A = this chain, B = another copy of it.
């Protein structure tokens, strides 16, 4: 009961770990962190057009959250037209290997998972 105890001691639903992980569970955070981790520094429209299927609104919202959590730095250049560059902070870079580990696991296992899903729905 070690894990359960820890979880309940941490306040169950108010568990701080979950509070942190919940943010990463949204639709775009992980992808943006991984991309920024690989590309280094990117401008807003570079991310926007690069990802392609993210809306302008969700990109700003997600970047704002990542910035608030100290995972991404936003560097504004006082130019017209505007120029803003995004990159990972040290904290963001420390998260990167974990997300890549997850992504690699998903890539390695998605075949089997798809097979399981089909088998499961077929059996029901």
User: Chain A: residues with CB nearer than 8 A to chain B?
Assistant: 1-4, 7-8, 12-13, 16-22, 24-27, 30-31, 34-35, 37-39, 50-53, 67-70, 91, 94-95, 98-99, 101-103, 105-107, 109-110, 112-117, 120-121
Contact = CB atoms under 8 A, between A and B. Distances in A.
The secondary structure that dominates the A interface is: helix
Nearest to A42: B4
A51 B105 CA distance: 26
B52 A110 contact: no
Contacts of A4: 35, 39, 50-51
B103 A101 contact: no
A120 B91 CA distance: 15
